[in-house]
Amino acid sequence: MAETEKKLLKDKVALITGGSRGIGKEIVLRLASEGASVYYLSQSQGPHAEEFAAAAQQHGVFITHKQGSVADEDRVKTIVKEIVEESEGVDILINNAGITRDGLLMRMSSEDWQQVMDINLTGAFYTCRALTRSMLRRRSGSIINVSSIVGLIGNGGQTNYSASKAGLIGFSKSLAREVASRGVRVNVIAPGFIKTDMTDELPDEQREALQGQIPLGRIGEGTEIADTAVFLASDMASYITGQVIEVTGGLGM
């Protein structure tokens, strides 16, 4: 069997928010490796444009940047309209864009609360609302919202972030019920502690303390979140909707 026939997302089109770096970057590359063409929405093209171009050429797909903020309602509408017209439809939507503005509640500014809500939760509302009509008409689609383990168990100093990620879970479960009859699936990935530039900069003692909380004894990789996204986007998950998949090394047990 030819290699292209084995690809799980062959000829699919995906839109990923926050795809320019970190977990989003790994999702872009992983979906492309499985045959999906990818649009990624972010404020800037990011530092991996050359890597994306090489991956697109290698796998015979396109990876295209769309500039904008998920918190900008009008811009999201415009971008989704452009993408649907260019591609004749989007098969996969992954809401990965997210920010943190950490601080104790008694010291948290209203601006820090609202910015986190606007990007992490309202942004997903904007993209889903703009795209679901097209998916419903086509009677197919997979929406994956990237939440966090702190949306399930909480974390001191992150009331805004935890609330936004918990809200994303409730949003996803409700949307899953609304669109299931038309063949559109909605699921959530809840990552735990994942290796990023921030965790790389932690002192050894702090990193060891962090790992000590994780039953598997290590910090996760962005590629492990990307693998989960591929599974949920593919036909392997054709009977899965409204679920929260924890990728945490057992942290949420």
Any idea which residues carry the catalytic annotation?
A: 161
Give the full edge-to-edge strand order of the sheet including 141-146: 63-67, 37-42, 13-17, 92-95, 141-146, 184-191, 244-247
Determine the residue type at 96.
Answer: N
DSSP of 21-38, one letter per residue? SHHHHHHHHHHHHTT-EE
Q: Residue 159 phi/psi, 5° resolution?
A: -60, -40
- Expressed in angstroms, the distance from the first to the final Cα of the chain is 41
Closest alpha carbon to 38 in 69, 60, 71: 60
Strand partners, 143: 93, 186
Closest alpha carbon to 121 in 186, 181, 169, 74: 169
Is the Cβ–Cβ distance between 130 and 77 less than 8 Å?
yes
Determine the 3-state secondary structure of 41 from DSSP.
Answer: strand
CA angle 168, 174, 180 (to 5 degrees): 120
